[in-house]
């Protein structure tokens, strides 16, 4: 039985801290998100962190966040800050520059 609210469309705004730039993290996020059917974007921030906006079913977003805690080889994730939001209607998942 699906947990209440787990299949509802929602969005999450996440900031990933650690060694997450220069290690292919953005393209890792894009590949994982597209595989889960998630829409949104990912970009590097000037402070060395990575920002993710993701929209989709809550259970898929939770799966993405779990994968992001590991990251790609050579990355080290020290923490992820998340805020749940209302989706804005993204149609694909892309890397922003």
Q: What is the DSSP string of 27-45?
A: HHHHHHHHHTT-EEEEEE-
Residue at 18 is within a domain: yes
Which pTM was predicted? 0.92
Quote the domain boundaries for residue 38. Answer: 9-95
Residue 1: pLDDT band with limits 50, 70, 90: very low
Residue at 1 is within a domain: no
What's the pLDDT tens digit per position in 10-24? 999 999 999 999 999
pLDDT of residue 61: 98
* Total residue count of the chain as it appears in this document: 97
Look up 44 and say whether it is catalytic: yes
Q: How many domains does the chain have?
A: 1
Check which CATH number belongs to the domain holding 58 and give it.
3.30.70.100
Pairing of strands 39-44, 93-95: parallel
Mean pLDDT (whole number) for 64-74: 97
Look up 58 and say whether it is catalytic: no
Q: Which residue has the tokens 């953005």?
A: 26
Mean pLDDT (whole number) for 75-83: 98
- Active-site residue among 43, 44, 59, 94? 44
Residue at 4 is within a domain: no
Residue at 43 is within a domain: yes
pLDDT of residue 3: 46
């Amino acid at each position: 039985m699906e947990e209440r609210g787990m299949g509802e469309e929602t969005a999450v705004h996440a900031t990933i801290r650690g060694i997450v730039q220069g290690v292919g993290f953005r393209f890792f996020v894009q590949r994982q998100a597209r595989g889960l059917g998630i829409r949104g974007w990912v970009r590097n921030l000037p402070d060395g962190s990575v920002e993710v906006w993701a929209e989709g079913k809550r259970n898929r977003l939770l799966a993405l966040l779990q994968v992001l805690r590991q990251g790609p080889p050579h990355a080290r994730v020290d923490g992820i800050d998340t805020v749940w939001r209302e989706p804005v209607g993204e149609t694909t998942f892309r890397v922003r520059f």
